[in-house]
Structure 1
Amino acid sequence: MKIVVAHNRYRQAQPSGENTIVDAEIAQLTAAGVEVLPFIRSSDEIPSMSKAAKALLPISPIYAPQAQQELSRLLTEHRPDVLHLHNPYPLLSPWVVRTAHKHGVPVVQTVHNYRQVCSSGLYFRDGMICQDCRGRALGVPAIVHRCYRNSRAQSALMATTLAVHRPTWRSVDRYVALTSAVAAHLRDYGIPADRIVIKPNGIPDPGLPAPLGDGFLFLGRLSPEKGLDLLLDAWRRHPDGTLGTLRIAGDGELRPLVEAAAAERSDVTYLGTLDRAGVRAALEASAVVLATSTWHDVLPTVIIEALASGRPVLGTALGGIPYLVGADTARVPAGTGSAQEASAATGSASSVPLSGPVSGTSAVPAGIVTGEAGWAVPPEAAALAAALPVARAGAAALSSAARSRYERTFHPDVVTSQLIDIYTTLTP
């Protein structure tokens, strides 16, 4: 089997989990015996481009002529079975889908964000969830609010690109949705359910989990959409020391907020930026990992790392978080706007009672959904505060289930086999 993997790498100055995932996927496919032909461009190339090439940059998200010529030569020479597209912006353009189809090559696309609809790809603006462009022929709100690179001109170009390529995206042969929430987003966009396969990313197996530590770990970018304000508000509703230690690792614009919290309370520790060994040590010291995003976070890799280490996760019921912890078959009850949004974000269709026993506790407060490997709550301080002691008491009961969910759903061997199966369904 011969596969072209097409991806526009994000700039090195903009750390990207997507770049890492694409690299890992290429390595995993190659190790499984698949011949991979990388068709990779990088946004780091832009400063060194010729004046003529730079002059064409404004139209490249729509068409990118050089990329189409180079891809045509690659497809003609190698005659691959499938083209697998990740990020097309700005140097490849979604037009690569049309170019592949012109050569009779089916296309798979992994959806890493919401950019079929949202110019920023995040469904998040001015500190809150925003879906103002959903259902519109042209994303005028994105232009008004400068959603793409804080530029009205570039936002207009991206909004136009999304409008022009609506038929392109609807012609993709198979979509890889990283979570059930992404699958729901694609169905809402008009993609038939039979062209969507849920296949998450995987991470290397770190080995058998160490015994549970105590307390909680937040690991990630220290920025508003990650919910640090929400987390610290919920934490302060408990007396100092009653929940064990809250460890916070990472860096970003909210670092002063975290440092102030660590100075204020003896049970908050700021670990700074960690290398891989430091991440491993922080996971081993903790019992529960926190994912308190206040946007529709697609697939936080830290959750998969937690499950691989046998640590259950307490997260907000937004984006892919409920899917990752196995709580996406239940709904957070309606009652507030944020709770309703959280329910819709899971793509859930079934209703499950939201209270019930958990080992180590007498009952789960209403509003907390217990999944296979953790808990999901509305993105509200009161709900998160109520869930913190539940998670601490129930961590031991879910530890082995967390590891099992990783082995069954997120192990590289599992996701690579899934991906090859997807390719196989598109080849004669």
Structure 2
Amino acid sequence: MRVAMLHNRYRSGQPSGENTVVDQTTDFLRRSGHDVDVYAQHSDTIAQMPGKDRALLPLRSVWSFSSARDLTFRLRESRPDIVHVHNTFPLWSPSVLRAAHQLGLPVVATLHNFRLMCANGVLQRDGRPCESCVGKIPWRGAVHGCYRESTVQSLPLVAGITVHQKLHTWQKYVTTLIAPSEFLKTRYVAAGFAAEQIVVKPHAVPFSGQVREGAGEAVVFLGRLTEEKGFADLLEAWDASLGQLVVVGDGPLRAAAEARAAADPSVRVLGELPWAESMEIVRTARAVVVPARSYETFGLVVVEAFAHGVPVVASRSGALAELVEDGETGALADPGSPDALRKALRLVTDPHTSITCGERARRVYVERFSPERDLAATERIYADAIARHAAGR
């Protein structure tokens, strides 16, 4: 099968689970013998744009005629069997969906976030989940300056969401929408999308080949050091009696983390590390902690921990509550509650509990999140979308 994989890559200085998923999906498909053409725009190029082009970028993000022309030309040359769209913001725009459709090509699109209903794409305001715009015209996103805390910068996004809601762009030109979690699907159905258009396919992660032995050592936080990721809650919840906390990542709260580490020998801050090195730290962990305050649409770090036989302490919110089975593969805690988080950490850092939950987590990974299962599911979705498109549905 020949696949056109389309994605607007996020800035290289901004860690992106979406970039990772696109790279891994492409790799899984190519390794199985499929031909994959990657059509990528790079947000890194925005800084080098002439001032006029940057000024017009908000309009281009709503509908880019140049992107549609470019993609049409390239698809006519390659003639793929299917087009798989990931992120279109801000350089591709939804115009590429119609371009592929007009060439008679089936289109599938992975929903990585809430950008089709929310100006900031994460259903969050003031560090808390917010659903004010779900199923509605998202004017509140402009009033509250939800994108980059700016009304001016939020307006084009609100306008784009409204335009494509009215035109039903994603419903008309996309055969199948892929959601990585049931939670994400429910939000899109609540926003007015048809449930039958959306298929749930969890993301997968590759496995390094080594499973944790014994109960592991430190509790590991791997991610952005921000309020919405619950990192401040983790610092408040942490107690030296829980063992060692290893922090891998960077973000606005790094200074607070380093100040805590200077005063508390049980906390170590390593900053950002290469993926392979991060996975080695995960493999030796007593538990991985994901205390997010905001909704997570999936949780790659959860599956990475499971792959290595490591349990996870996570927030009872969004897709995290779907991934982690409380008391079986880890523990859940109410988001924004340091006391509840401390209690959950104390449970899972017990050596016997960590071993038992880690063994279950490893079985869940093999059964649900391995590359082999991901590839088979992707191939089924492609085949079904091609058949439905041919039948005119």
1:69 counterpart = 2:69? yes
The verdict on how the C-alpha distance between 1:216 and 1:51 changes in structure 2, with shifts beyond 3 A counting, is closer
Q: Which has more helix, going by share of residues?
A: 2
Alpha-carbon distance change, 217 to 54 in structure 1, aligned in 2, over 3 angstroms: closer
Q: Is the 8 A contact 1:248 1:272 kept in 2?
A: yes
The answer to whether the 8 Å contact 2:144/2:151 transfers is yes
SS for the counterpart of 1:14 is coil
Displacement of 1:134: 2.0
**Distance (Å, rounded) in 2 between the aligned partners of 1:267 and 1:53:** 50
1:383 counterpart = 2:340? yes
- Return the alpha-carbon distance in structure 2 between the equivalents of residues 12 and 251 of structure 1: 14
Deviation per residue, 1:328-386 (Å, 9 max, x gap): xxxxxxxxxxxxxxxxxxxxxxxxxxxxxxxxxxxxxxxxx33x422222112222222
Per the alignment, residue 140 of structure 1 pairs with 139
Deviations 1:189-229 (CA, angstroms, capped at 9, x unpaired):
22222222211222211113131313411121111111122
Distance 1:109 1:74, change over 3 A: same
CA distance in 2, matches of 1:187, 1:311: 33
Q: Say what the alpha-carbon RMSD is for the aligned residues.
A: 2.0
Aligned equivalent of 1:159:
158
- 2-side partners of 1:47 and 1:261: how far apart? 35
Letter in 2 for 1:384: L
Q: Is the 8 A contact 1:63 1:93 kept in 2?
A: yes
CA separation in 2, counterparts of 1:54 and 1:264?
45
SS at match of 1:118: coil
> Could you list the per-position Cα deviations for residues 387-415 of structure 1 after superposition, in whole angstroms to 9, with x for gaps in the alignment?
22221232111112111212222221211
Which residue in 2 is equivalent to 1:343?
none
2:390 aligns with: none
CA contact (8 A) 1:222 1:253 kept: yes
Q: What's the counterpart of residue 193 of structure 2?
A: 191
Contact 2:135 2:192 in 1 (8 A): no
Query: Which deviations, in whole Å up to 9, do the C-alpha atoms of 1:60-85 show, x marking residues without a partner?
Result: 12210111112222333333222111
- Preserved CA contact (<8 Å) 1:292 1:316: yes
Percent identical across equivalent pairs? 36
The alpha carbon displacement at 1:51 in A equals 6.6
Structure 2 SS opposite 1:210: coil
TM-score, normalising length: structure 2:
0.90
In 2: Cα distance, 1:55 partner to 1:115 partner: 21
Task: Please state whether the residue corresponding to 2:92 is helix, strand or coil.
Answer: coil
Runs of 5+ unmatched residues, structure 2: 388-393
Q: Deviations over 1:31-77 (max 9, x none)?
A: 21222222221122334446775564232122101111122223333
User: Residue 222 in 1 paired to residue 247 in 2?
Assistant: no
Residue aligning to 1:203: 205
- The 2-side partners of 1:276 and 1:84 are apart by 25
In structure 1, how many angstroms separate the alpha carbons of the residues matched to 2:55 and 2:310? 50
Contact 1:170–1:190 (CA<8 Å) still a contact in 2?
A: no
Partner of 1:104: 104
In structure 2, relative to structure 1, the CA distance for the partners of 1:250 and 1:132 (3 Å cut) is: same
1:168 matched to 2:169? The reply is yes
1:307 matched residue in structure 2: 306
- In 1: Cα distance, 2:284 partner to 2:31 partner: 33
Q: Residues of 1 paired with 2:272 and 2:16: CA distance?
A: 16
Counting matched residue pairs gives 380
Q: Structure 1, unaligned stretches of length 5 or more?
A: 328-368
Structure 2 residue 332 is the aligned partner of structure 1 residue 373: no
